[in-house]
Structure 1
Amino acid sequence: MKNSAEPKILSIDTSCDETAVAVTAGVRILANVIASQAKLHAQFGGVEPGLARREHQKLIEPTIKKSLEEAKVIPTKLDAVAVTQGPGLAIALEVGIAKAKELAQQWEKPLLAVNHMEGHLLSAFAKDKQGEKGIDEPQFPALGLLVSGGHTELVLMEDFGSYELVGQTLDDAAGECFDKVARILGLGYPGGPALSKIAKAGNENAFHFPIPLRGTADFNFSFSGLKTAALYLSQELGDLSPEQKADFAASFEKAAVAHLVDKLAKAAAQLKPKMVLIGGGVINNRRLQEEIQKEMSHLQIPVHTPQGNDLLTDNAAMIGVAASFKFERGEFADLKSLERDPALSF
């Protein structure tokens, strides 16, 4: 195994409904290919695991080929193969892990197993091909807010590979809640982006939604109450006009964002991080980004966001970034014993 200051790694992520393959050199992204299945799952109103697995099996080979071509890298020039071990859909994860093992064996490369959420946490470190963007001089401790379809977490990071989960959702994840409220409003799947889009034209003070856990001292989240409040309100209002839907979406979004920012601010004030990292698909929400920046500027804590939407949704480049630090630490996976871990946590 050659020792490289910028290890070239081919990474695979099949944790949910994106077949993602990337090639990275250290934290520089040489290729980041994502084959999305979102349109296929829209008819089910959510991800159908069996369909996801079949699509991963169909798409993974051409996605690997495209990624290597875009990166202009041949397998012999790679230093390692990396793959998402979890969390995610078990039968979807299995497709990526099986392929990564096969390639590592075929190409005689070491294998790296990555936590999908560590990928989201470190996605702000990713740089473009030229080494631009991303974080140049990390300052620790860092506090990460990870907000995706299946997870809502606050993670204290003392250094690369040293993490403590300090807050998490007690029930639904934020992204899940956004999608469910979007479904109540008849906005289809994926609902979160559709809800945020119509919210821009709405009156955020038209309806009252409670902000969860505001009086609690911990850093945990809860979205089931917001979801229930949305359901009851929709039943009370009956058929909604487009204007009412926009008001409903804006009012809900205001409360959901306030809850996320409230807990982040509470954790930041108490834990005193040197920087804040934000990642996950829900971070695409413009209002959430703006409110986080505003709140953290009051505390004089810099906020780092992944550069580009492709690094916020599920992708393999973030897996490559996390894998590069594991490569440096020599944390390789055992080819024979590596198994999927759908409930993997920090």
Structure 2
Amino acid sequence: MRKTIKSPSILSIDTSCDETSAAITQGLTVLSNVVWSQSKIHAKFGGVVPSVARRQHERKISWVVERAVNTAKIQYKNLDAVSVTVGPGLAIALGVGINFAKNLAIRYQIPIIAVNHLDAHLMGVFAQANKNNNQSGLTSNNAANLLMPDNRLKHPAFGIVVSGGNTLLVQIEAIGKYEVVAQTIDDALGESLDKSARLLGFGYPGGAVLEKFAKKGNPNKYHLPLPLLGREDEGIYSYSGIKTAFNRLVTSLTERKILTRQQINDLASTYQKVAFDHFFRISKKTIIKNLSNETSYLLAGGGVAANVDFRKRVRTMCKKLKVVPVFSYNKKLYGDNAAMVGISAYFKFLKKEFSNPENIDRLPNLKIDQAM
């Protein structure tokens, strides 16, 4: 049985990109998770403008944190720690959350925990719903079953992080201990989907819009080259080539006439299919290469994991490999959010991995396997 000692209450903050987020977690339970998105503000620029992101974080962070605290019905004096994303991300955006968290830690004399954003994407699968205030009707997943009573992993696992800034596959030897076995050498999968969506006039961010149009299209209507054919054993993903080919395809179709709605659907469906084909071809090969009898789980995190077809294909791949896929219980936990930061911080809290508020700083290029 899991230990019944009181789980720590942690206030977590994430300002790594264009979402201002704060959450209260108690152990693995999410008591609140507030996310304020700047996407509409950045849409007119076609992407995130770092200086604008920083100003918006500075404008909203106090309100977001206060709302998270009030929703969780907790007082600052009863917090056991504060945690914050230190990287990777936009340096000047990260600084807003870090400075706010440092001030809270000093003011209330509580430990501060530095969190790796990529680690948080994976640890977010262990988040559990607050049974006392679960208005969404969503139920928790069974990810906690992967943990031993002392919160160590029962077995090694694989993990994938698929987002706008990262695409990687790791072996998880223990909580917080990773070995990268495959990663992108150029664009991230999420970034690739956003850029293709922009070519079709969907604006920013476009990945979720692309998914909606793709559902109505024929994924085999057009031809796009599959990247890195014959190089599947190298453990690399690449999306720059397919993006260039898609640009040429769209340009050739729009030279003489405007695209019809069905053509847009078909183009969206074709691009999404080929982008996913590439990811799963490389991932399957890499997992087979590194699979052992003990490794029987795959943790999936990152904004692209919110895509229904992507999760379906994860399940299909895992079924063939006899690996159990593990997803977050709530779709809101796939994108950038502070609840996943709180779950990562919880495991660090148990190991007393605290930081000195005076020394904690931004690490915009932080890697998942890099020490902080």
- TM bucket (normalised to shorter chain) is over 0.9
1:326 matches 2:342: no
Q: Name the CA distance, whole Å, in 1 between partners of 2:75 and 2:167.
A: 37
Q: Name the CA distance, whole Å, in 2 between partners of 1:277 and 1:214.
A: 26
Structure 1 residues without counterparts, runs of 5 or longer: none
Could you say which residue in structure 2 is the equivalent of 1:285? 307
Matches within 5 A, 1:254-269: 254-269=273-288
SS in 1 for 2:113: strand
Distance apart, 1:134 and its partner CA: 4.6
Q: Name the CA distance, whole Å, in 1 between partners of 2:53 and 2:218.
A: 37
Of 176, 200, 212, the residue aligned with 1:197 is 212
Distance apart, 1:5 and its partner CA: 4.5
Could you say which residue in structure 2 is the equivalent of 1:307? 329
**2:351 is matched by which residue type in structure 1?**
R
Could you say which residue in structure 1 is the equivalent of 2:123? 122
Could you say which residue in structure 1 is the equivalent of 2:242? 226
Could you say which residue in structure 2 is the equivalent of 1:176? 191
Could you say which residue in structure 1 is the equivalent of 2:90? 89
Distance apart, 1:167 and its partner CA: 1.3
Please give the per-residue CA displacement for 1:56-104, whole angstroms capped at 9, x wherever unaligned.
Answer: 0011001111001111111111110000000000100000000000000
SS in 1 for 2:129: coil
Q: Name the CA distance, whole Å, in 2 between partners of 1:223 and 1:126.
A: 31
Please give the per-residue CA displacement for 1:192-244, whole angstroms capped at 9, x wherever unaligned.
Answer: 01111101111111011122124221221100011001111111111321111
Q: Alignment RMSD, CA only?
A: 1.2
8 Å Cα contact 1:126/1:134 also seen in 2: no
Q: Name the CA distance, whole Å, in 2 between partners of 1:312 and 1:259.
A: 21
Could you say which residue in structure 1 is the equivalent of 2:251? 235
8 Å Cα contact 1:142/1:277 also seen in 2: yes
Structure 2 residues without counterparts, runs of 5 or longer: 132-138, 147-153
Distance apart, 1:124 and its partner CA: 0.8
Please give the per-residue CA displacement for 1:124-152, whole angstroms capped at 9, x wherever unaligned.
Answer: 11101139435122142111111001110
Could you say which residue in structure 1 is the equivalent of 2:143? 135
**1:149 is matched by which residue type in structure 2?**
G
SS in 1 for 2:275: helix
Q: Name the CA distance, whole Å, in 2 between partners of 1:322 and 1:214.
A: 36
**2:281 is matched by which residue type in structure 1?**
D
Identity %: 43
Could you say which residue in structure 2 is the equivalent of 1:155? 170
Please give the per-residue CA displacement for 1:97-131, whole angstroms capped at 9, x wherever unaligned.
Answer: 00000000001000000000101011111101139
**1:75 is matched by which residue type in structure 2?**
Y
Could you say which residue in structure 1 is the equivalent of 2:54? 53
Q: Name the CA distance, whole Å, in 2 between partners of 1:253 and 1:229.
A: 13
Q: Name the CA distance, whole Å, in 2 between partners of 1:232 and 1:301.
A: 38
Could you say which residue in structure 1 is the equivalent of 2:27? 26
Q: Name the CA distance, whole Å, in 2 between partners of 1:191 and 1:297.
A: 30
Q: TM-score, normalised by structure 1?
A: 0.97
Q: Name the CA distance, whole Å, in 1 between partners of 2:129 and 2:106.
A: 29
